[in-house]
Chain A
């Protein structure tokens, strides 16, 4: 162990060390956050501390007076946290990890940049780390060491996002669909969406489109009552399935996610609809297996038909590109973390 520098340490449990059911038990609900800070500051007498709590990780950062003291705190902290969660330390320890000094700085840099996330390069974690730091600062729990480490980690995360490919490309079916729709229509505020089938898969892609501004949405389902129920949830219009051919002529985006043995949309129906569309492109996403749209429809002019395999192939390619960028990004972040650690030791 490096005995120089401040006694910064980290006790954590993440998706890398613990299965979902364990993470659920270790999660810190907002009402318990105060108790954790009280434990770290008053019981363990730490001058600086910070709690990072997301769906995939619970991490407790602290700064002890010396590295040796930090090392000694490990067992006690584990006992206290286990007690707080009403668990035995022996049941918790296998799912945790403990880091000290420069390793902590490097870890914070990786986390903030999304390198340690389950979905590499995701951006949500950056906001979560910022919120946690801001919360700690408001409580007066973050001091000179954590201030420097976290602020520098934000700069490093921005650098990584701007200069490497770790955040590039959509990696979920919903986000790939949104990116494709954006490439066709730009903003989605004026796009008319038709969802055929009111199941979970279709709704999840619909939600992604709505998040990006799609407002004019119509849902068609075999059972009108079900369509109405889902339409109310998404604040849109419900229609019966037999109105689909007529709606094809005015829709911009058609999401097909109906559980059916035979195609819901035929080549002939689409050919008829395209004749009335004056060259406006129609983006069709067929999420169903078996497919809801006759594959031959892809040959029609101005029809852009993507099925589940197409979307998955795009998502996988993007994920592969992100993974390829991780190693290069990690090298630079390690170097940046090292500089921060050295500057902390020089204080």
Chain B
């Protein structure tokens, strides 16, 4: 691991996320809010270590570091924590940091067990084409938003469970209100759905240009996740999916999205192994290669 500095940074980041999450969870279990300076003294270095690791992986391939499942999951955790750090400054929602750190720790630890965890950086197919890179970046960003949405939906479910079961102590009294979490859930779904729609739109333009450049598995899974989130958003807008069922849908959809990364990354890997195109093309949406 130490012969591979990017990997070492990513492992260090994951370890710090686990520590930060454990520290905050221990306090919450005792009904206390965690000591924020200590918590962020663990989470910010974790985020920086992860940023460095991903940056170094990107340098190796001169592309976004989302070339295999391991990198995709790490990038997903990175976006989730990044969004939480931004939201923290504006929303001040209690325990959102704890839950986001939990997701980052879970994703980070889970990524270590992926077959691609020890693989060299793969790079994104079509790297160098700004539209492809934009498409990939937007897709990863939207998945990060959905990650935070799942976190927030889980907090909603826990708070709701406490109120239904008349639990008043421990973590229940620290969580934000149902109304605050529901409002955040709606906003995150809207942002994520828009970002993913644009990413899918760019991907579709590429697919029209080069129908064989994207595997069917990737196409089906990506469109499936996108349609799934659109359906959830539409049902929420029509008030047909509300409260607990809406929160469960957000958690379930994110689990589905994470599992969908496997065929998506396989497609990446396959495409990255393909011979490079004969000549660079103009950076327009109609001239993309296969992408994430």
Tell me the nearest residue of chain A to B167, going by C-beta.
Answer: A314
Residues in chain B near residue A168, CB distance under 8 A? 31
Nearest A residue to B32 by beta-carbon distance? A165
In whole Å, how far is B155's beta carbon from the nearest beta carbon of chain A?
12
Task: Specify which of A169, A186, A310 is in contact with B169 (CB 8 Å cutoff).
Answer: A169
16 contacts between A and B (CB under 8 A): A165-B31, A168-B31, A176-B168, A179-B168, A183-B159, A183-B162, A184-B163, A279-B243, A279-B246, A304-B163, A304-B164, A306-B166, A310-B166, A314-B166, A318-B168, A318-B169
**Can you list, as one digit per residue, whether each of A156-179 has a CB less than 8 Å from chain B (1) or not (0)?**
000000000100110000001001
Interface size, chain B (Cβ < 8 Å): 21
Chain B residue at minimal CB-CB distance from A313:
B166
What residues on A are CB-neighbors of B168 within 8 Å?
Answer: 169, 176, 179, 314, 317-318
How many residues of A are counted as interface, with CB atoms below 8 angstroms from the partner's CB atoms?
25
CA distance A304 to B159 in the complex (A): 12
Contact of B180 among A176, A186, A318 (CB under 8 A): A186
CA distance A8 to B1 in the complex (A): 67
- Render A304-347 as a binary contact track against B, CB cut-off 8 A, 1 for contact: 10100010011001100100000000000000000000000000
- Chain A proximity of B79: nearest CB distance (Å): 27
Show the binding face of B for A, using Cβ within 8 Å.
31, 159, 162-164, 166, 168-169, 172-173, 175-180, 239, 242-244, 246
Given contacts A179-B173, A183-B178, contact A281 B31 (CB under 8 A): no
- Across-interface contacts of B239 in A (CB, < 8 A): 278-279
Closest partner residue, chain A, to B238 (CB atom): A278
Query: Other CB < 8 Å A-B pairs besides A169-B168, A169-B169, 9 of them?
Result: A165-B31, A182-B177, A183-B162, A183-B172, A184-B163, A184-B177, A184-B178, A185-B179, A302-B243
Q: Which 7 A-B pairs have the closest CB atoms?
A: A279-B242, A186-B177, A278-B239, A279-B243, A314-B168, A186-B180, A185-B179
Cross-chain contact A183 with B163 (CB below 8 angstroms): yes
Task: Report A-chain residues with C-beta under 8 Å of the C-beta of B166.
Answer: 306, 310, 313-314
The answer for the CA separation of A321 and B244 in the assembled complex, in Å, is: 31
Question: Is A32 at the interface (CB under 8 A from chain B)?
Answer: no
Closest CB in chain B relative to A201 CB, distance in Å = 20
Whether A180 is near chain B, meaning CB under 8 Å from some CB there, is yes
A74 at the interface (CB under 8 A from B): no
Tell me whether A76 is interfacial, beta carbon within 8 Å. no
| B-chain residues with CB within 8 Å of residue A279 when the two chains form the complex | 239, 242-243, 246
CB distance from B27 to the nearest CB of A (A): 12
Instruction: Chain A residues near B178: list those with CB within 8 A.
Output: 183-185, 281
CA distance A306 to B167 in the complex (A): 12
Q: In the assembled complex, which residues on chain B have CB atoms less than 8 Å from the CB atom of A278?
A: 239, 242
Q: Is A301's CB within 8 Å of the partner chain B? A: yes
Residues of A within 8 A of B31 (CB): 165, 168
A183 contact set on B, CB distance < 8 A: 159, 162-163, 172-173, 175, 177-178
Q: Looking across the interface, which residue of chain A has its beta carbon closest to that of B164?
A: A304
Distance of B167 from chain A, by nearest CB (Å)? 9
- The answer for the CA separation of A302 and B246 in the assembled complex, in Å, is 13
C-alpha spacing A120/B33, complex, angstroms: 21
- A-side contacts of B162, CB under 8 Å: 183
With most chain B CB atoms within 10 A of its CB, the pick from A183, A279, A317 is A183
How many Å from the CB of A269 to the closest CB on chain B?
20
Contact residues, A158-216 vs B (CB, 8 A): 165, 168-169, 176, 179-180, 182-186
